[in-house]
Amino acid sequence: MSGQVAAVFGLAGAMLAGCLQTAQAREVVPFQNGVAPGSVVISVSQRKLYLVNGDGTAIRYPVAVGRPGKQWFGTKPIDGKYVAPAWSPPAEVKRDNPRLPNLIAGGSPHNPMGAAAMTLAGGEYAIHGTNRPSSVGTYASYGCIRMYNQDVVDLYARVDVGTQVYMTH
């Protein structure tokens, strides 16, 4: 019985630690940018994503952004939302990493899309989770925005298809 109790407390402790990590990862901060409430603003130089609340604040999330030469700037709407999406490497990624399979199933620990993804119009980029949480906060991708899985799930619940995403320096 004491082993079961320890296992339950161990699981509860792990869940609590995950919650504490989540609280530290995202936070509400003052934000004035002039974009509509509900918009997403990504600062490449800060490696932060802001979800604009409309009351002079935003929820700030740490993210990984495109490596130098792989970054993009401008505005694109979210055109799709997916939970545990499958992933096919784009041609450029496949060219650089020919050993990658043509498709990695959703939910696979090898799938770089993580827990959820929001695709951006044009089909090249997405805001998604990651199977490499240590990459968050860095210049790591081919232009996609990587988030901690718990943060992408949080953002996913807060935005809709059509939400404007602004990529800034």
Q: Mind telling me the catalytic residues?
A: 128, 144
* Tokens coding 85: 């999406």
Q: Give dist(CA 106, CA 112) in Å, integer.
A: 9
Supply φ then ψ for residue 118, to 5 degrees. -125, 115
Q: How many CB atoms within 10 Å of residue 72?
A: 15
Look-up: residue for tokens 């496949």? 94
| DSSP-assigned letter for residue 154 | H
